[in-house]
Amino acid sequence: MKQVNWMLKATALCLLGMGSSLSYSADTLTRIKETQTITIAHREASVPFSYLSESKKPIGYAVDICLKIAEAVKKELKLPQLTINYLLVNGSTRIPSIVDGKADIECGSTTNNADRRKQVAFTIPHFFATARMVVRTDSGIKNWTDLKDKKVVTTKGTTSVKLLNDRDKVRALGLKLTEANDHDTSFNMVESFQADAFPMDDVLLYGLRANAKDPSKFAIVGDGLSTEPYAMMVRKDDPAFKALADKEIARMMNDGEFIKLYDKWFRNPIPPKGSNLNMPMGFLLRDTLRFPSDKVAD
């Protein structure tokens, strides 16, 4: 009987500890204050949003925004210092990294959609992209109907996979689909003639093309399949941290700081090769600057 009572007490203590741990992990600001550390999830090759420099340091448009958010967190919590840890993620691991508490915020090129909002929350969008495709200029491919019986590569865990499957069913294109682990690999498959086309958000394709050995060999073609609002992912059960992130993004938009940051990454030469996307700001993002909101149309 004593052994049974001891086991019951041990089980209760264990459950209590688990409950405390779960509550603690959900309170991002409390944990950041106690550890004086924030963890930013980033991508390897999502140019110009989140990628690695020649020295393997995370850089990019989204990374810069997240560093501003980190500075706002430091100021809000009155911390003497704040250590920034980086966690490399890909299309398959980015959502689990937030859900499992491995990272506090994901800074990349992630689309805010209804399915993902079941698992995570999103900040005010920092970009709106359109799904198109990159092909070799000598491929003869101009639009989606030209993909009939072609080899097409997509990146795992991205929304373009579903869009392409839907288009394939409607048009009976007979696509030969394959998936790669990251955007660089997908692009390289087109470059090396292993695939005829790589559908993805247009801005990412412009970035990959700009950094290719010979950008003139590639073209971004096809009618836009969808509009993709990019936003930072944070934990769904922690509205206080999201509110602080949204407040800082809105401040940047209202103060004109956001436009300067956009011009830095989209209208000027960027590392590592000094390539320039020369991409004007789209009307949806311009409207968001005027009326910052995390609400998006699905």
Write the pLDDT tens digit of every residue in 197-249: 999 988 989 888 888 889 899 999 998 888 889 999 999 999 999 999 999 99
Between CA 51 and CA 222 the distance in angstroms is 26
Confidence of residue 61 (pLDDT cuts 50, 70, 90): very high
Reply yes or no on whether the pLDDT at 18 is more than 80. Answer: no
The answer to whether 245 touches 234, Cβ cutoff 8 Å, is yes
Mean pLDDT of the chain: 88
Reply yes or no on whether the pLDDT at 138 is more than 70. Answer: yes
Residues of the chain with pLDDT > 90, as a percent, come to 67
Q: What are the CA-CA distances from residue 50 to residues 60, 63, 98, 155, 164 (Å)? A: 5, 6, 16, 16, 24
Reply yes or no on whether the pLDDT at 25 is more than 50. Answer: no
Taking the complete model, does pTM exceed 0.85, yes or no? Answer: no
Q: Which alpha helices (H) appear in the chain, and where do they start and end?
A: 2-26, 28-35, 61-76, 94-99, 114-117, 160-171, 183-191, 202-210, 239-255, 257-266, 283-290
Q: Which domains can be identified in the chain, with CATH numbers?
A: 29-126+231-290 (3.40.190.10), 130-227 (3.40.190.10)
DSSP code, position 58: E
Please report the DSSP string for 100-148 in residue order: TTS-SEEES--B--HHHHTTEEE-S-SEEEEEEEEEETTS---SGGGGT
Between CA 59 and CA 284 the distance in angstroms is 24
By three-state DSSP, how is residue 289 classified? helix
- Residue in 42, 158, 144 with CA at minimum distance from that of residue 102: 42
- Taking only the tens place, the pLDDT of each residue in 86-124 is 999 999 999 999 999 999 999 999 999 999 999 999 999
pLDDT at res. 26: 53
Determine the angle formed by the axes of helices 28-35 and 239-255, rounding to 10 degrees.
80
Highest averaged pLDDT of the listed ranges 1-5, 53-57, 274-278: 53-57
pLDDT at res. 282: 84
The answer to whether 287 touches 115, Cβ cutoff 8 Å, is no
Reply yes or no on whether the pLDDT at 196 is more than 80. Answer: yes
| HSE, side-chain direction, 13 A CA sphere, residue 201 | 21
